A and B are shown apart, each in its own frame.
Chain A
Amino acid sequence: MTDHPSAADRSDHLPARHPRTSHDARPVHPAAWWLWSLSLGTAATRTTNPLLLALLVATSAYVVQASRPHTPWSRSYSAFVKLAVTVLLVRLVFAVALGSPIPGTHTLVTLPEVPLPRWAQGIRIGGDLTAEALLFALYDGLKLATLLVCVGAANALASPTRLLKTLPGALYETGVAVVVALTFAPHLIADVHRLRAARRLRGRPDRGLRGLLQVGLPVLEGALERSVALAAAMDARGYGRTADLPAALRRTTTALTLGGLLGVCAGTYGLLTAEGGTYGVPVLLAGVAAALAGLWLGGRRSPRTRYRPDTWNARSCLVAASGTAVAALLTAAAASDPAALHPGVVPLVAPVLPLGPAAAVLLGLLPAFLAPAKPPRHKEQPS
């Protein structure tokens, strides 16, 4: 299972006679990667221990480094890391500038306090900065930053476009629309760069806010035109073809979907009201089942098939399991030993690494050995 895919790689250069050889190195299902990453993120929300959080970040970074594919999306990890650092810094700046409700005795510096009018009571700008408040903000910010890094790992390991492609047939077309919308942003940014460069050719400054505003209209015009061109191309390539279905089947689909949604509403209502305790759960379940059946039947309206669909194989199971295990174990640890996972800041103590939870986090490294990335088949070439 951990075989290196180089043999399969080479076979790809052969003509179509052995089309199945490269199936051996089937990639891990994108949903498994997202489950793994989001589980790590869940684990991060269970603790404020900076050592555990750092271990979580290191785990995700190692797996990303080992398993990410060679696509432009996989570079998004560094962007998320930068975002996480920014969030952490912003959290600290706020703690420094606005003070903190944490009572502390170790004053580091005393900033000049801005006198505020009476109605702004409870808000403080400046004043004493205590080590406890700073540490609390650091732990808190680190938790958020770790969560962001985990989302970044999900993006890098399996791009959201790949995830959207695994949607059921009835939702596929919507998925494609979302994918196209996702590629829209990079194009828009490229357009802004090009048009700002063109401003320089006209002898106008290419920097500054005014320059950005003046290219706004042409950029939007260009984006609109490209969207229309893309829509035409997609239509000409068969996007939105529907299969002819008997009228009875279509009516059944509609009835199931609508009935299912109504059932979900009624069931939820039943669950939330006091007297509906008896019928709530069964109605909700029936509604969900009917809606899913409607979705499945609706998928038959679209004749589309999948090219090399991502399959949920044993490796995907293990990847997903390793992530879920980390989340479950840390949740359990947070319940049984809250002190170790939430080191106190008042009084000021150094955080200790609890061995059990740390070992649990290390379980998350499993995918790095299960699904190492394929080596790039060729060098990057200039475009």
Chain B
Amino acid sequence: MIRFENVSVTYDGAADPTVRGVDLTIPEGELVLLAGPSGAGKSTLLGTVSGLVPHFTGGTLRGRVTVDGRDTRTHKPRELADVVGTVGQDPLSHFVTDTVEEELAYGMESLGLAPAVMRRRVEETLDLLGLADLRDRPIATLSGGQQQRVAIGSVLTPHPRVLVLDEPTSALDPAAAEEVLAVLLRLVHDLGTTVLLAEHRLERVLQYADQVALLPAPGAAPVLGDPADLMAVSPVYPPVVDLGRLAGWSPLPLTVRDARRRAGALRERLRDRTPPAGREAPEVPAPLPRPPAVHRWRRRRADPAAAAPAAVAEVRSLAVRRGRVQALRRVGLTVAPGETVALMGRNGAGKSTLLGTLVGLVEPSAGTVRVGGAVPHRTAPRELVRRVGLVPQEPRDLLYADTVAAECAAADRDADAEPGTCRALVSELLPGIADDVHPRDLSEGQRLTLALAVVLTARPPLLLLDEPTRGLDYAAKARLVVVLRELASAGHAIVLATHDVELAAELAHRVVLLAEGEVIADGPTPEVVVSSPSYAPQVTKILAPQPWLTVAQVREALR
């Protein structure tokens, strides 16, 4: 269906090709997962299938890509539109019209299908993707998962024979991701659609893939093969594969179910051991850099009860209304120094709003919020950065300057820190970021690190991260985990809103589950995630009923 013949792509101004030596044939009706570390050229390879590379991005494509017999060199993307459906990383930048129904019809209108056909296919697609109740809704009011489904639906209606998806589940909560994947699987099974998708969160997708195309490193030739064979050598792998490698299982299990069948012996070996301690929240607050005396005086005047705060942040019966929507209601949360809390819940459950109230971006409509004794939305920004820092969902929002060095200098000025503080933090967190690079040209992981360093320059005792692992590969995620653990042991309290159950399992002392703006569970990580089917990490599912969360714990215990 898709044939790559000795393809290499070199972008303008780049010294080396981004991908080279690609010789693959993807047969019809297969779900092929494109895996590899960041920067290995996954998006570029996906772009060559729809013709957007090089027709839209520029650069030079050598070799030949044919889709359903059409050569992308001679066919522009619009002439491939009836064969290839493409959904990019950000569904919002994909939408042309403003309501669901019109969006589903847009592609068919461009292709000139008969009105009766269009009408039928829109209805079919609405049913297939479970969007029937949303047909008249403006797209801007939909949740992330719904938008992703509309984006997929909008390319499905012309009945393309190939579907190309770039990280379709990375912005979604576990349940919504399952939903989207179920739809893809149905397309592959029922309609024989060929699906090529790239994804960093392999634990969500690997089990559904018929084949894996592995891009092992930047510029290296991809290998297409059986998922189990390739996972044995892959530099990126989900926890289930990690556990399988640790236990020496062969062939490697790819699904939790397969792994459970094999895990009898491992469970036996782990029976007498307990997960290593040290995951409990620190009882005694670690010493923190105290704010100058003036601030303490002000704080005392603001709230006499908080004279000796045991908690870095305290939220009591908080409610937030946005227009007619009740975003949060009766939310209570206390964060102690040195504690890491994971906020989890559906897209639109109110996680980001809660983080917003903690940094004063959102004004509560009822209840109280205290961060280091101050009321966030009434505190001047210059004061507030010393108490709390937020790394937003899109770290780029924080970065304005042209170069990393200028960004760091600005951060030092903003925080009244010693010149060089921020730069030293960047080098400490992730060595190898050059001074003169534009923040836009950094990789996702590097950009996140830079934003984190900018926020940490003011040494806030409370650090908030909104969806930090979106777009990060396993290596970048592992580095982030190490960095955040060190910060926590240095006494920083960390609150992270995330959909990534594996990250929460690695890091969090406590998990707070939100639903419809309310806290529905708040407790130590093992207690909360073990009991939940969608929020349990893979290792927990495999080794249940034993309370193991991560491969690292198992590795430690077996040593």
Q: Which of A's residues lie within 8 Å of B, judged by CB?
A: 12-13, 15-16, 19, 70-72, 161, 176, 179-180, 183, 194-195, 197-206, 214-215, 217-218, 226, 229-241, 243, 303-309, 377-378, 380-383
In angstroms, Cα B108 to Cα A194, docked, is 34
- Residues of chain B within 8 A of A304, CB atoms compared: 109-112
Of B90, B94, B138, the residue contacting A71 (CB under 8 A) is: B138
Of A16, A240, A309, the residue contacting B127 (CB under 8 A) is: A16
Smallest CB gap from B455: residue in A: A201
Of A16, A201, A218, the residue contacting B390 (CB under 8 A) is: A201
Instruction: Contact check, A198 vs B397: say whether CB atoms are below 8 A apart.
Output: yes
Instruction: Contact check, B109 vs A203: say whether CB atoms are below 8 A apart.
Output: no
8 closest A-B pairs (Cβ-Cβ)? A238-B81, A238-B110, A303-B112, A307-B105, A16-B123, A203-B385, A229-B93, A198-B397
Instruction: Contact check, B325 vs A380: say whether CB atoms are below 8 A apart.
Output: yes
In angstroms, Cα B385 to Cα A205, docked, is 11
Of A176, A197, A217, A378, the residue contacting B133 (CB under 8 A) is: A378
- Pick from B139-147, B281-289, B307-315, B493-501 the stretch touching chain A: B139-147
Q: Does B446 contact A (CB under 8 A)?
A: no
Q: Which of A71, A215, A217, A239 has the most CB of B within 10 A?
A: A239
Q: Which of B's residues lie within 8 Å of A, judged by CB?
A: 50-52, 55-56, 76-82, 84, 86, 88, 90, 93-94, 96-99, 102, 105-116, 118-120, 122-124, 127, 132-138, 140-143, 154-155, 158, 322, 324-327, 348, 359-361, 380-382, 384-385, 389-390, 392, 397-398, 400, 410-411, 414-415, 454-455, 458, 517
- Residues of chain B within 8 A of A308, CB atoms compared: 105, 115, 118-119
CB < 8 Å A-B pair total: 191
Given contacts A233-B86, A307-B102, 12 further A-B contacts (CB under 8 A): A15-B124, A195-B397, A197-B361, A200-B360, A202-B411, A203-B414, A215-B400, A237-B154, A238-B107, A307-B108, A308-B118, A382-B322
Q: Which of A13, A229, A305 has the most CB of B within 10 A?
A: A305
In angstroms, Cα B134 to Cα A48, docked, is 46
Instruction: Contact check, A306 vs B109: say whether CB atoms are below 8 A apart.
Output: yes
7 A-B contacts (beta carbon < 8 Å): A201-B381, A201-B390, A202-B398, A233-B94, A304-B112, A381-B325, A383-B140
- Residues of chain B within 8 A of A176, CB atoms compared: 96
Q: By DSSP majority rule, is chain A's interface helix, strand, loop, or mixed?
A: loop
In angstroms, Cα B119 to Cα A195, docked, is 41
Instruction: Contact check, A180 vs B96: say whether CB atoms are below 8 A apart.
Output: yes
Given that A19-B119, A305-B114 are known contacts, is A237 also in contact with B106, CB under 8 Å in the complex?
A: yes
Smallest CB gap from B322: residue in A: A382
Instruction: Contact check, B113 vs A305: say whether CB atoms are below 8 A apart.
Output: yes
In angstroms, Cα B51 to Cα A230, docked, is 15
In angstroms, Cα B458 to Cα A274, docked, is 80
Q: How far is the CB of A21 from chain B (nearest CB, A)?
A: 11
Of A13, A238, A303, A307, the residue contacting B118 (CB under 8 A) is: A307
Smallest CB gap from B361: residue in A: A197
Instruction: Contact check, B385 vs A201: say whether CB atoms are below 8 A apart.
Output: yes
Q: How far is the CB of A253 from chain B (nearest CB, A)?
A: 18
- Residues of chain B within 8 A of A243, CB atoms compared: 112
In angstroms, Cα B84 to Cα A235, docked, is 12
In angstroms, Cα B384 to Cα A70, docked, is 41
Of A12, A218, A241, the residue contacting B78 (CB under 8 A) is: A241
Instruction: Contact check, A70 vs B411: say whether CB atoms are below 8 A apart.
Output: no
Q: Which of A70, A176, A201 has the most CB of B within 10 A?
A: A201
Smallest CB gap from B118: residue in A: A307
Q: How far is the CB of A293 from chain B (nearest CB, A)?
A: 22
- Residues of chain A within 8 A of B324, CB atoms compared: 380
Smallest CB gap from B517: residue in A: A382
Instruction: Contact check, B107 vs A233: say whether CB atoms are below 8 A apart.
Output: no
Instruction: Contact check, B109 vs A235: say whether CB atoms are below 8 A apart.
Output: no
Instruction: Contact check, B113 vs A194: say whether CB atoms are below 8 A apart.
Output: no
Of A13, A183, A235, A241, the residue contacting B132 (CB under 8 A) is: A13
In angstroms, Cα B390 to Cα A240, docked, is 43
Instruction: Contact check, B76 vs A307: say whether CB atoms are below 8 A apart.
Output: no
- Residues of chain A within 8 A of B380, CB atoms compared: 205
Instruction: Contact check, A218 vs B400: say whether CB atoms are below 8 A apart.
Output: yes
Instruction: Contact check, A72 vs B119: say whether CB atoms are below 8 A apart.
Output: no
Of A19, A194, A206, A229, the residue contacting B397 (CB under 8 A) is: A194
Smallest CB gap from A161: residue in B: B98
Q: Which of B55, B109, B326 has the most CB of A within 10 A?
A: B109
Q: How far is the CB of A298 from chain B (nearest CB, A)?
A: 15
